[in-house]
Structure 1
Amino acid sequence: MKKNVLFGMLISVYVCGQAQTNDKDYVLVLTNNINDTTINVSSREYDSKQLKNYEFKSFTDQAKINLIKNVKNRKMCCNGAILEVGALNMNGGKQVLQTIIDSNWTEFKDAALVALCRMGDKHSLDIFFSKINKADPAEKAFDQYYREIEYIKQPESIRFLVKLLDSKALNEMPKETMKPTKFAATIVRVLSRMIIDFPIKYFNDAEEDNAIKMAKEWWFKNRSNYKIDNSKY
């Protein structure tokens, strides 16, 4: 069986198991199995959305030790494991990730930079957002990096999205790409997954205009009083 298929099956079992049982030992076993599988997946095209519903609080101390050990080994390392280190905000994780960048492990440098951003490393945040703020047209940056922006879950992520939501570039998007309303609604959906107590969680296509308006009004009132949800990937 291919590793990515096995990984997908484990994720499905994990999510279903969490929903249907209170047996903590069962959930922890699943968590460790998923962790071990992630470490052994060698695909360099790892997609962070696979773990968006994966709650990292279930990681055991031993699982964290194994994770760091494997990320230090280039042959065992993978982008998914690197992103886990960032999401877990593990002790010693910043040093390990910086070593990957300094050692020029080319295949893992981008993931290490993004993981450092998730951990709040100022230098890494400056590098990442400086790059995407220079993108032209503006929607290109969002389309290419929105998963990373959502994963990072730092104030810089929120500010980038809100700025784009209210930008002139958004209203001047060429028709052959995406309608401005549809694009803005996508930004609102990303914000809704990142911010605790965000007023709009679910809305359909017919409700997009109203959702965008509500999001802008909410941000105007709460821009200095919001909390980012770091409990999930």
Structure 2
Amino acid sequence: MRLLVVEDNGPLRKEIVKLLADDYDVDSAENGEDALYLAEQNIYDALVLDIMLPGMDGFKVTQSLREKNIDTPIIFLTARDALDDRVKGLNLGGDDYIVKPFQNQELQARLSAILRRSSPMTLNHTFCYKGIEIDDKRKQVTVDGEILPFTTKQYDLLEYLIQNADQILTRDQIFDRIWGFDSDTTVGIVEVYIHQLRKKLKKYGYEADIQTVRGIGYMLSDK
């Protein structure tokens, strides 16, 4: 799963990234404008968002995302502890609120909670789509009871499709999520890996569920 940490305090930002990096893929930004640009790519599972940012603050970032129907879960991280600020943040579409200074365990627990609420992950850390089951801890794929070998990128792509089942994902969204903005390859690699997934799943009758949305991207769905 991939997170975006937005904090203008450099040492604190690095500390949070280091804390979360063992369990998640973590990107970071130090101001609201960069945060908004990254979050608009719609590739994150959650945002840890400071409110007091230079330029565009965390409230404005959240408001802009929600107006664009980007519903990525957001945990506000701020030194503000006034009730009015907490209420404003939640009313704008935030999911939780942590006041600095905080304990690392609290941030981890609150983050895990909103990810459980917003993702199809089960209590035993698996993602499921029909007869396909992904074990997020073991990085293992089981299809109709049979364990299948997957490369890292194949696994990441299948997981991303399952996390967003019945939603259209553009080629750029998939590329940015799986390969990253600074990849040396091109967006054409997405089609290659989609073909590989379909080939692996054909035996089980799931290849048709990876649908091509002409001119846009792909969607995992049986509709």
TM class by shorter chain equals: under 0.3
Choose between structure 1 and 2 for higher RCO, CA contacts under 8 A separated by at least 6 residues.
Answer: 1
Higher strand share: 2
Per the normalisation by structure 2, the TM-score is 0.28
Higher helix proportion, which one?
A: 1
Q: TM-score scaled by structure 1? A: 0.27
